[in-house]
Structure 1
Amino acid sequence: MVMDKPREVLVIGGSRYFGKRLIARLLAAGDRVTVLNRGSSAPPPGTVHLVADRDDEASLRAALGSRVFDAVVDQVCYTPRQAAVARRVFTGRTGRYLMTSTVEVYEYEDSLAPVREADVDPLDVVVDLELPWNDSEFTDAHYGEGKRQAEAVFATDPPFPWAAVRVAHVLGGDDDFTGRLEHYVSRIRAGEPITVPTVNQPATYIHVEEIADFLFWAVGQDFTGPVNAASHGRLTTRDLCEAIAAQLPYGETVFRESEIGEVSPFSFRRFYGMDNSRAVALGYRFGDVRRWLPRAVTETLGTAARSGAAGKGD
């Protein structure tokens, strides 16, 4: 990318997983990057670090001072209250606002076809700021709803160009803090049962490096509104396990079907696929999930081995 001058980019959050990879890409492109978080972790070298509680409007305004940005990438907007604060604070401060959203906004869609952005229009979402959004247990239990309502706050008469990247389930990297793929590695290694629905529906995924690439690309675009970010292709839990078992010759994959109750991560009773055609039409070229899945498994195996070694030393 050729730029006349460095862009001023603010990343809210971004201290781990694909957020830190996005920051690395921005710095490599010559952008001037400011990272804002609560101060619990230091941002990558080469960035400006601002410390503030994004839930506290006065704290956020004080930390920002008179700064303005070409783009803001909000990695940690989980509730409509947070969106409302950001909307007020960043009005007049940014030329573009990019919110990292999630496939979970489609949690109530039970379609046999991949869901499109229009299936959940933020302008049709009812916002309720009186719900207990400051309660972490409530927010965790209503993750998809929080993201839906946050999108709706930004989408209603937006004060700046705004977009929401609805991210598919992310895999890969040697620093996946979720432990979801590692769950399968440990169970296949031990021959322990993996609980799946009686009918195991597929889902869409994206590699951690690809979503970092996508967000970096999206910073420099001018599209607005929601966009789905997912690699081509879909996988069931069994597909994931087959890819893991191929690299664990001494393991054993044992499935236990369940009609009700909890199942393993990435095991879905309904179809969980996203249509990525809007992003493709805008010019982004996604990879294919089956091509990068072996790499993601190798990275997860490395994480699991280090975790095991660390545990033996405790």
Structure 2
Amino acid sequence: MQRICVIGGSRYFGKLLVERLHAAGHQVTVINRGSTRPPAGVEHVVVDRNDEAALTAALGSRTFDVVVDQICYTPVQAAIAARAFAGRTRRYVMTSTIEVYDPATAALPAVPPGVRVPEGSVDPAAWAVDLGLPWDDDAYLEAHYAEGKRQAEAVFTRAAGFAFASVRSAHVLGGGAREFTGRLAHYVERIARGGVIAVHAKVLPTVFIHHEELVDLLLWAVAADFTGPLNACSEGPLDVYEFTGIVGASVGREPVHRSVPAGAQASPFSFDRHYAMSNARAKQLGFAFSRTSDWLPGAVAEAIAGAATEVVAETAAEPVTA
């Protein structure tokens, strides 16, 4: 049994992580702003993580074996957490993202075609940090999501007081109506009704992970002792044609594609730049990944069931008229 703090943990795979940590017998504390309560038996600390004085006061004398940070998006948030948890935990795990490798958002080392991006392509120990940027502006943060994650990792990497690891997650799918990006539901709905999928003239693959597999990896990371960044993705990169082909087979309809000019907007998983991650480090450390093509049809079925449930709920909520 370990004392584990989860910052966030109120929705999607963060909520599932809290449930599984608690079911495994760990002493779990959830820190968030109070919009959603954790399961019974899980300690709930309601505080805004952006308020350093309030966070420090709310923590009181608590100490933890591991902190899992699900909602760190900026170097300012990382700096606050690094100070607040210094000496309170031996290990800090931050959930990061594949977006740190997006060459459209930063000047990154070129990766040869067909080569999956290793963690060293973005080294947080060497990444520049600028706390003076307008990180508290929602529009700025949305436009600089990837850079916020890169700089947050950099702050934690240089912090003293605990061992730090970041889990760079691939595109997360599964969970039906709970999937907060809605990207899989977008494809399911569009392909099912014969809508056109906009794609780049030359598409490149990316990588995915099922939300339950990501939780499995985070549970593993809690008990592990590795430090530094770790890529988390299922086996088998897919380009948008392969991805929509699996979705189409699951819904019983052939996808319709339309190529867009260079620079034009395409559908969510059509990429004209390469940043499919390598999961070699995680496998070397002992984590075994599933194959995307094995779980994606089930995730599509979850999305279809979730959409049907939402329609039923909306219909039941409609007023009855004579």
TM-score by length of 2: 0.93
> In the alignment, which of 284, 298, 302 is matched to residue 299 of structure 1?
302
Is 1:167–1:229's contact at 8 Å kept on the other side of the alignment?
Answer: yes
Which segments of 5 or more consecutive residues in structure 1 lack a partner in the other structure?
A: 1-5
Q: CA deviation digits over 1:124-149, x for unaligned, max 9?
A: 21100010000011111111000000
State the distance in 2 between where 1:157 and 1:143 align: 21
1:192 and 2:195 matched: yes
Please give the residue correspondences for 1:129-140 in structure 2 after superposition, counting only pairs within 5 Å. 129-140=131-142
> In the alignment, which of 223, 230, 243 is matched to residue 246 of structure 2?
243
State the distance in 2 between where 1:296 and 1:247 align: 10
State the distance in 2 between where 1:310 and 1:263 align: 32
Counterpart position of 2:90: 95
> In the alignment, which of 63, 71, 74 is matched to residue 66 of structure 2?
71
Deviates more, 1:234-243 or 1:207-216: 234-243
> In the alignment, which of 21, 29, 36 is matched to residue 31 of structure 2?
36
Is 1:204–1:230's contact at 8 Å kept on the other side of the alignment?
Answer: yes
> In the alignment, which of 274, 283, 288 is matched to residue 286 of structure 2?
283
State the distance in 1 between where 2:161 and 2:266 align: 42
Please give the residue correspondences for 1:233-272 in structure 2 after superposition, counting only pairs within 5 Å. 233-249=236-252, 251-259=253-261, 260-272=263-275
Pairwise CA distance, 1:301: 1.2
> In the alignment, which of 147, 150, 158 is matched to residue 148 of structure 1?
150
Task: Say what the alpha-carbon RMSD is for the aligned residues.
Answer: 1.3
Is 1:190–1:252's contact at 8 Å kept on the other side of the alignment?
Answer: no
> In the alignment, which of 16, 22, 25 is matched to residue 17 of structure 2?
22
> In the alignment, which of 170, 178, 181 is matched to residue 181 of structure 2?
178
Counterpart position of 2:161: 159
Which segments of 5 or more consecutive residues in structure 2 lack a partner in the other structure?
A: none
Q: CA deviation digits over 1:84-131, x for unaligned, max 9?
A: 000000000001000000001101245221110111000221100010
SS in 2 for 1:43: coil
Pairwise CA distance, 1:307: 2.8
State the distance in 2 between where 1:121 and 1:247 align: 39
Counterpart position of 1:3: none
State the distance in 2 between where 1:312 and 1:265 align: 29
Pairwise CA distance, 1:310: 3.6
Is 1:185–1:304's contact at 8 Å kept on the other side of the alignment?
Answer: no
* Equivalent residues, number: 308
Counterpart position of 1:86: 81
SS in 2 for 1:121: coil
SS in 2 for 1:99: strand
